Structure 1
């Protein structure tokens, strides 16, 4: 749980950078890669992450410019990556300008339950991590190079002069 806004910002910075790196690696062709018939595509998952900032943080009443939850998935990977970048920057700026550490204790209705802002932020972060993991699997299936997030990806081991782990 976050006790201060700076605690959140410190963790969020690393997570949003990892997410942005994954989104920036998408191609237009990869957006249609499905999990399976009748499930989300890679593009839908990417857009879900981009619009979750608006959807989840919006429950707190914080006003900021963002890619809106419920809007159709853009046609290009670049549009999705830019929407996330813009939404994230706008969200963080609005938090810094409007919230204090005391805001973290405020409670808001979130999906029929009362959650503190600190809980909403933690769930926002873990939600993003969860879907980012799903995306990396679909990226491999789509033939994309997956960027390392918490360490080097298979293709990045050589760049650091090491052998990749065994398959």
Structure 2
């Protein structure tokens, strides 16, 4: 029942991510709101990348960042980033569908450089924080980027400000 619930949320929220990525025009990809921020293209690519972390999180007990293989794409075209998202989405969906409720309570950790960077914790906690909430956080940033560049934001949870302007 737990995995089924996660899959339902995942499918609903991935559609929101898809809407958001499809709202990004190529003209906004170089926008950077501050010296400490990513460009729109880098942020969009990161959002897509998180979906590629699902298989290693759902089916491994350790996510070693040293051996992780990124799906590197040319981020100067939003279609490449959307393609990266779609490939990662399919792998993520398969990883959830093949998971078990029992596995949600097994410990999971992240390592890099031979060190533990995220201490062992139940997989379900990692899925909620490291995967799902992480994506939602960055989608919120992307909404600010889109509005800052004068672009429309898609409706994800009902009516939005832009709807009132019609």
TM-score, length of structure 2 as denominator length: 0.80
Aligned to 1:102: 102
Question: Are 1:26 and 2:24 matched, yes or no?
Answer: yes
Q: In structure 1, which of residues 147, 160, 163 is the aligned counterpart of residue 154 of structure 2?
A: 147
Once the two structures are overlaid, the 10-residue window that deviates more, 124-133 or 84-93, is 84-93
Question: Are 1:127 and 2:134 matched, yes or no?
Answer: yes
Report the count of equivalent residues.
152
Distance 1:60 1:129 in 2: 19
- Larger relative strand fraction: 2
TM-score, length of structure 1 as denominator length: 0.80
**Which runs of 4 or more aligned residues in structure 1 lie more than 4 Å from their structure 2 counterparts after TM superposition?**
59-62
Distance 2:71 2:93 in 1: 21
- Listed as ranges, the gaps of 5+ residues in structure 1 are 63-67, 160-167
Aligned to 1:163: none
- Listed as ranges, the gaps of 5+ residues in structure 2 are 61-68, 111-116
Computed over aligned residues only, the root mean square deviation of the Cα atoms, in angstroms, reads 2.3
Aligned to 1:16: 14
Distance 2:57 2:11 in 1: 21
